[in-house]
Amino acid sequence: MIAKAKSISHGINALNYITGVSANKKHPEKIYHICDNFLPPGIDPLGIWNSVRLDSLSRPRMKNNLIRIEISPAPEHTRNLTPEDWKQLWQDFVVEFDHQEMRDKTGRLLSPRTNLAGSKSTVWLHLESDSGIPHLHAVVSRLDENGNINNDRNIHLRAQRAAERVARKRGWQTAANIHDINRQSVSRDCLDVLGRMGKWSLDDYFTRLEAKGYDVKVRKDEKGIIRGYILKKGNAKFKASELGKGRNLMASKLEETWNKLHPAQEQQTKADSMESDIRPDYAAYRPDTRRVDIVHDDETHTRFISEQVMRVFDDEFDFREVENWAVLINEACYHFAVAMSFMSFLNTPVYVSGSGGASNNDLPKKRDDIEEEIARARRCAAAARSKIGIVRKRGFRR
């Protein structure tokens, strides 16, 4: 589920559009009223606009006096929803929207909690003209019934986070989840194509992807050399740079990736025999690991993550300074577990054997592996911080 929000000054135009009065709306018969808040029954768009403008006279410096919101759940989650269900979805969204406080990295309050629940609003359900996919439109007053302003700083982030939280509580896939799942599926298809190719050919690679149902768009430079490509399937679109591990499915690295998937037979045999030794099993206990119970989508997954990684998370989200440290560490551990599980699937190691006796080339580079693991942990911590936000404890600072 995704949501958009923006404060606007052209309120009458927005009201005419969402209620179907506007001449720009081709199918007003596909618009349904869901609910109003602090508005008299049967009021028309002009009446709503005049009511909001009258309230705004007490705040002459407030330029944008309305908030426009659009909520778009995935079609599979809304197939059997009744008008009452849509009303409940809106109310759940408002609760999550109002609950948030926006703070900067130092914990300074940037945007206090809003009060959409205590503000004038009108909510309507629209069906797309061609597909019939439903989505909600709402217009909310910037002033609540107590005369306080609903702060609009980073309001788009507030809407996105509210949608994510509602989706998680309902067990729905979020937009980020769906994109990541699709990205992994596309990466597997690309690797499968490379693995089945008897010899290297970029044209053959693209042809095989098209046979799997992908629309391939290549980007060439002025000399006609392919510098990049995009894969599209349905409404999903993926750049080569976001596929695979370490961008190993970019046009410039495809041949190298193909070579890694087709090593000499003796090298492949050795790799298979050592694979289980070099890939850590995060679901089983190992020395110098910490048991972590990761909660995601109302399910708990037990993983054993190395102490070095957990120390990175402990330092990033110090419980003495961060109010929501437990939630942030849980999110960071989830990102790390997903990343390492996916990377171990994609990573097909190639070993260069030494001649004569034993050679250091036959051994995994453990120091490099540890550094890579720690670097990935820092990226996962950054992802958790970006998604949830840090709430600093007031008063005591280390």
Same domain assignment for residues 101 and 111: yes
Q: Which two tokens stand for residue 59?
A: 């705040």
Q: Examine the fold and report which residue of 243, 262, 281 is the final residue of a domain before the chain moves on.
A: 262
Same domain assignment for residues 53 and 88: yes
Q: How far is CA 23 from CA 20, 26, 128, in A?
A: 8, 7, 16
Q: What is the pLDDT of residues 19-56, one digit of tens each?
A: 999 877 778 889 999 999 999 999 999 999 999 999 99
Same domain assignment for residues 115 and 46: yes
Q: Residue 55: which CATH number? A: 3.30.930.30
Total domain count, the chain: 3
- Residue 290 pairs in a beta bridge with 305
Domain that holds residue 252: 174-262
Which parts of the chain sit beneath pLDDT 50? 265-266, 268-269, 273, 275-277, 342-365, 396-398
Q: Examine the fold and report which residue of 242, 262, 282 is the final residue of a domain before the chain moves on.
A: 262
Same domain assignment for residues 155 and 17: yes
What pLDDT score was predicted for residue 174? 66
Same domain assignment for residues 224 and 126: no
DSSP character string of 58-102: T-TT----EEEEEEE--GGGSTT--HHHHHHHHHHHHHHHHH--E
Same domain assignment for residues 100 and 185: no
Same domain assignment for residues 395 and 253: no
Residue corresponding to tokens 């560490």: 329
What pLDDT score was predicted for residue 364? 42
What pLDDT score was predicted for residue 176? 67
Same domain assignment for residues 15 and 163: yes
Same domain assignment for residues 383 and 340: yes
Same domain assignment for residues 58 and 90: yes
What pLDDT score was predicted for residue 90? 98
Same domain assignment for residues 268 and 387: yes
What pLDDT score was predicted for residue 299? 82
Q: Examine the fold and report which residue of 262, 277, 311 is the final residue of a domain before the chain moves on.
A: 262
Same domain assignment for residues 333 and 374: yes
The dihedrals phi and psi of 201, each to the nearest 5 degrees, come to -160, 120
Q: Which two tokens stand for residue 339?
A: 């990343």
What pLDDT score was predicted for residue 322? 86
- Residue 37 pairs in a beta bridge with 121
What pLDDT score was predicted for residue 23? 76
**Spatial distance between the Cα atoms of 275 and 298, rounded to a whole number of angstroms:** 33
